[in-house]
Amino acid sequence: MKAIELFSGAGGLALGIAGGGFSHEALVEWDSDSVRVMRDNVQRDNWPYKKWNVIQGDVSKFTFRQLEGKVDLVSGGPPCQPFSVGGKHRAFNDNRDMFPHAARVVSEVKPRAFIFENVRGLTRDAFKNYFQYIQLQLEYPEATILDNETWTEHLHRLERLKSSNADYGLRYMVNTRVLNAADYGVPQQRHRVFIVGFRSDIGQAWGFPNPTHSEDELIRSKWGTGEYWDEHRVQRSRRPEITETEARRLDRLSFKEDIRWRTVRDAIGNLPNPTFEFSAEFQGHRFQPGAKPYPGHTGSRYDFPAKTLKAGDHGVPGGENMLATEDGRYRYFTVRESARLQTFPDHYEFTSSWTESMRQIGNAVPVDLATILADSVRQSLAGNPQRSKEKN
């Protein structure tokens, strides 16, 4: 099945979409450093997706009408700054808000499905009406905003259209959900909102895949069975103390069939300690000095999923890009470690500076999570929806 991607960044969502069985006709990204990283990887001998056509440009300046009826999926991660906690929260009034252009591309291409991703901040009460507006634009992409019409007036018109259940050309059935990547096997607690739509004429029911991994099982494997420590050959003398919160949860655990959350140790435990020297075996695995803890900036725990990696370096609040090591010290994650926490394969190289690479990785969608979603969408488009096991 064929796909195009908008706002590709450095390629995390695209890698996942490709891993889920889609072939990209085009990937569009305006940032030159991110484009260079994708193109550098495409040109490597071991690159598995040779047909990737990486285009540098502004989505708002492109027309995609030539692809009408030729693409099964449109995907992308519109810039999150208008909605992020660290941003100015201007939404529609921020010229970086690209959701109207995402809806425009959907109206031009008329794909059978789409997948869009953004920060959880988009679902906050402050953006409640605008989030509804985004969904309705994608549900009725041909009912575009009129000249001199405000977004709130457009929202009101879309609401009336939906309530009337009128036949207004192209329509999509839209589902949204905030997912925690850790619940799907990513070694990072990363909450993001996903917006998935299927063209209404397909008539295919679809729901988000059920979580496969859980914190309860991680607690059980550590403090109930000890399997986690045995797996990593951690001697009892080197194991941390169970926290009061974990002890209380352990007492209340019931039997489940989930897999345990993956941890930082799972992701990077087989990497050598980074040094100032470049690693010939692991690209981007080089020590970056300067990490310091302070209140509210304490780094990620080694035996827990990482905090959400963010698009910054030492200035990121909360220590999201910093590791609290087993010996009580702190250091920044290397580029390669950060890539692993986002489930990029080791053969995918980030060739920019440390700061720029951390920005690209922090902005990315975890590859494995994107693969799970894409595969589920592809199965539905093929008329063979995956049936998730019901929870008891």
All residues at 6 or more sequence positions from 347 whose CB lies less than 8 Å from its CB, including other chains: 44, 46
CB 332 within 8 Å of CB 291: yes
Cα dihedral value 126, 130, 135, 136, nearest 10: 140
All residues at 6 or more sequence positions from 104 whose CB lies less than 8 Å from its CB, including other chains: 141, 144
- SS3 at position 368: helix
Residues 291 and 332: their CA atoms lie apart, in Å, by: 6
Token pair listed for 272: 């050598």
How many other CB atoms are there within 10 angstroms of residue 166's CB atom?
Answer: 10
From 383, 388, 69, select the one nearest 204 (Cα to Cα): 383
CB 43 within 8 Å of CB 51: no
For the question of residue 13 being annotated catalytic, the response is no
Q: Which member of 74, 80, 102, 309 is catalytic?
A: 80
Residues 73 and 373: their CA atoms lie apart, in Å, by: 12
- Report CA torsion sign: 15, 18, 20, 25: positive
Measured N-to-C along each axis, helices 32-42 and 354-363 cross at an angle, to the nearest 10 degrees, of: 90
- SS3 at position 160: helix
Helices (H), the chain: 12-19, 32-42, 99-109, 128-139, 151-164, 215-219, 227-231, 244-252, 264-268, 335-341, 354-363, 367-381
Q: Just list the catalytic residues.
A: 80
